[in-house]
């Protein structure tokens, strides 16, 4: 079996990839999702052409399997990080893969807000910017938090797959020391650690969502 230091180091690498790529993905995906809602034909500022273009781009990126996407954007990864493999380098394909997914999650959450709330804000003279940030986002917080928990779990799954292309973290341990060397015990331990991390992220996200939900107050 591997030493505790190796497990700890690779767990840290996985958390580093997941947390940083999630933060960057939300910095891109949150405004993109809001723009998809606002520019929809039934949105507060309809822009059909922009909505269609953004929708097509998001759907295309979501349709490409992660490993294929990571290989396709290798030149972009190398241009940004200076290298194509490694923990830091994998943040680029993780972000590119996750941001469109998050945009759709945000879009779905925002569209759950009752239209009556928007009409009330409009009747009080709120402009589109105020409606988005002072009405839509606050009202959708519980759903956004649930979507955030789902998204971070998805990114964690991507990070594990990155082990096949030298991404580092627990995925690399499972591939290099487990799969390639036919060591089932190491693969099993890696899977158990990933499952535990997933459960922690999921539980924290769901607890925050319940706390933010007005219906539970």
Render pLDDT for 12-58 as a digit per residue (tens, 0 to 9): 999 999 999 999 999 999 999 999 999 998 888 889 999 999 999 99
Map out the domains of the chain as residue ranges.
4-216
| 3-class DSSP state of 47 | coil
Confidence label for 201 from pLDDT (cuts 50, 70 and 90) = confident
Report the chain's mean pLDDT, rounded to a whole number: 88
CB 197: neighbour CB atoms within 10 A? 18
pLDDT of residue 59: 93
Q: Tell me the C-alpha distance between 46 and 42, whole Å.
A: 7
Render pLDDT for 57-78 as a digit per residue (tens, 0 to 9): 999 998 999 989 999 999 999 9
Confidence label for 213 from pLDDT (cuts 50, 70 and 90) = low
25 neighbors 102 (Cβ within 8 angstroms): yes
Closest listed residue to residue 200, CA positions, set 19, 48, 10, 5: 19
- Looking at mean pLDDT, say which of 65-79, 153-167, 203-217 comes out highest: 65-79
pLDDT of residue 214: 61
pLDDT of residue 27: 94
Residue 128 CA, chain-centre distance (Å), reads: 26
Q: What is the mean pLDDT of residues 73-96?
A: 91
Least confident of 65-69, 108-112, 127-131, 213-217: 213-217
Render pLDDT for 135-157 as a digit per residue (tens, 0 to 9): 888 888 888 988 888 899 899 98
Confidence label for 215 from pLDDT (cuts 50, 70 and 90) = low
Element at 13 (helix H, strand E): helix 4-38
Q: Tell me the C-alpha distance between 213 and 217, whole Å.
A: 7
Domain 4-216 has CATH 3.40.50.300: no
147 neighbors 29 (Cβ within 8 angstroms): no
């Amino acid at each position: 079996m591997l030493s505790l230091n190796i497990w700890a180091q690779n767990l840290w690498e996985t958390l580093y990839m997941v947390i940083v790529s999630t933060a960057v993905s939300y910095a891109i995906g949150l405004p993109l999702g809001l723009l998809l809602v606002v520019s929809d034909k039934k949105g507060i500022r309809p822009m059909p052409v922009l909505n269609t273009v953004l929708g097509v781009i998001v759907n295309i990126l979501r349709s490409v399997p992660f490993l294929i996407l990571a290989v396709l954007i290798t030149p972009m990864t190398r241009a940004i990080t200076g290298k194509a493999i490694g923990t830091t380098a994998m943040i680029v394909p993780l972000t590119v893969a996750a941001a469109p997914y998050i945009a759709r999650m945000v879009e779905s959450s925002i569209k759950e807000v009752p239209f009556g709330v928007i009409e009330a804000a409009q009747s009080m003279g709120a402009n589109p910017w105020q409606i988005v940030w002072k009405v839509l986002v606050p009202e959708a917080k519980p759903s956004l938090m649930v979507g955030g928990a789902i998204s971070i779990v998805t990114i964690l799954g991507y990070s594990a797959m990155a082990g096949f292309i030298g991404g580092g973290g627990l995925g690399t341990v499972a591939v290099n020391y487990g799969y390639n060397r036919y060591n089932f015990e190491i693969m099993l331990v890696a899977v158990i650690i990933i499952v535990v991390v997933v459960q922690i992220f999921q539980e924290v996200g769901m607890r925050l969502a319940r706390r933010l939900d007005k219906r539970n107050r």
